[in-house]
Chain A
């Protein structure tokens, strides 16, 4: 299994500002993902964070709005840029893939509850 530390756990931000969310894993993982859960909605994949290269974004999400870094196999950041109230959501880091159970299940951080005012 993997232990994921996601920071901050919650924040209230002013519109127009940016917030960077950090995801630290206690072991090396192949895959890291960033999801968003809007109120009453499913978890939607924003992007796959690729180590040493640009992230792979899903339809509807762009790098300028959600820049992602992954400098190594245990750490990634997601930035929510130029925030608006519509960005108020829970943002979740997820990891998978180094062998054992990590190849058959994905693990999640506790999430970052973002409120934009």
Chain B
């Protein structure tokens, strides 16, 4: 059973606008969450993470929000750029301070058009 879910397989956004990618999880033991970006023919690259003790983490144009009660997190990209077009994976871990195995969603294909 999928413990991390990304229910939107694709998202299309105009350049300069906000992109919001959503992720839900079912395992209440998850305490660390990550977002990865993947271009074709490349491995996933780390984007941003958030610990369960926080509800927001920001890094430049990227902000991740965590709602533990709803078991939901989202990635906001503002402003969106064409180079952001990629598949975005949400991942979760129950490793605490030591990163262990990751559970991934199926990914959302983001397309940013000019």
Contact = CB atoms under 8 A, between A and B. Distances in A.
Interface in B45-94: 45-46, 49, 89, 91
Interface residues of B, number: 25
A34 to B, nearest CB: 11
A103 B46 contact: no
B25 to A, nearest CB: 12
Interface in B89-110: 89, 91, 97-107
B34 interface: yes
Interface string B19-32: 00000000000001
Of B46, B97, B105, most A-chain CB atoms within 10 Å: B46
* Interface range for A: 20 to 34
A116 interface: no
Mostly, the B contact residues are loop
A42 B107 contact: yes
Interface of A: 4, 6, 9, 31, 33, 35, 40-45, 48, 92, 94, 96-97, 102-111, 113
Contacts of A105: 34, 46, 49, 99
A9 B34 CA distance: 25
A106 B46 contact: yes
Nearest to A113: B41
A42 B102 contact: no
